[in-house]
Amino acid sequence: MSDLQSYRDLFDLSGRNALVIGAGSGIGKAGAEALAAFGAGVLCADIDAEAAAVTAAGITAGGGAASNAAVDIGDPASVESVVAEPDIVVSTPAINVRKKMLSLSDEEFRRVVDLNLRGTFNVMTTAGRGMAERGRGSIIVISSIRSQVVEPGQGVYAATKAGVLQLVKTLAAELGPAGVRVNALAPGVVETPLTEQIKANPEWYDAYATKSALGRWSQPVEMAGPIVYLASDASSFATGSLLVVDGGWLAVDGRFTPPL
């Protein structure tokens, strides 16, 4: 085998099983499709079972291997039901309540924390136990640029994304000796169902576009490559890391006050 072939093989996921939670739309859908394209068998899971089935059907129609399941990451038993023996786990679900902190209700605070932080914890720990026993695995969770910088109306969401990052670092430290890698991906502003409120406001949409160095929003497919990288042997020495894919958002000095 040539050296060039060896380098190509770093991204080969043939024979590996991947679980993508949130595969029904957005970054999860793109990630599931990309992992399958590189040879992984993918279980497409989502709280929206029909959406997960559509993603899986699209993968199989394109020659990939995929199945689908319903999952609620807020329910540990539901998470347990889909985490069998995956080599790769990708967790993308999150919600946001865009309000200034003094306007947030206790219920709204709890709802965001419960899904974004506790739900991600459920996925990470359930997957981590099995991977540690098998001595291998890659866990990838979606954090955000909001783990690093905030704006009015993003307080609780930002807190959960920062919390997710600290969970990633801790689990990476604890499971590294067992051969398990744990990393976080920090997108910038991506056109997904989570950002519908912003997309519907032209002023807000344009302001976010011009905040990045590239002058635009990203598409979910632009997160697919980073997911494949973190899942594959190409990132074999990466763990406890935050991979920022934000179009230069964190590199550009500027501020936008959203119309809350």
Which residues belong to the active site?
157
Query: Of how many residues is the chain composed?
Result: 260
> What is each CA distance from 124 to 1, 82, 117, 120, 127, in whole angstroms?
36, 13, 10, 6, 5
Nearest to 177 by CA among 147, 210, 132, 219: 132
The whole-angstrom separation of Cα 59 and Cα 87 is: 19
Q: Which helix (H) or strand (E) holds 179?
A: none
Our CA angle for 117, 121, 123, nearest 5°, is 120
Are 28 and 90 in contact by the 8 Å Cβ rule? The answer is yes
Nearest to 68 by CA among 23, 132, 1: 23
3-state secondary structure of 73: coil
CA distance 20 to 154: 26
Tokens describing residue 175: 């499971």
Pairing of β 41-46 and β 137-142: unpaired
Task: Give the separation between CA 219 and CA 238, rounded to whole angstroms.
Answer: 24
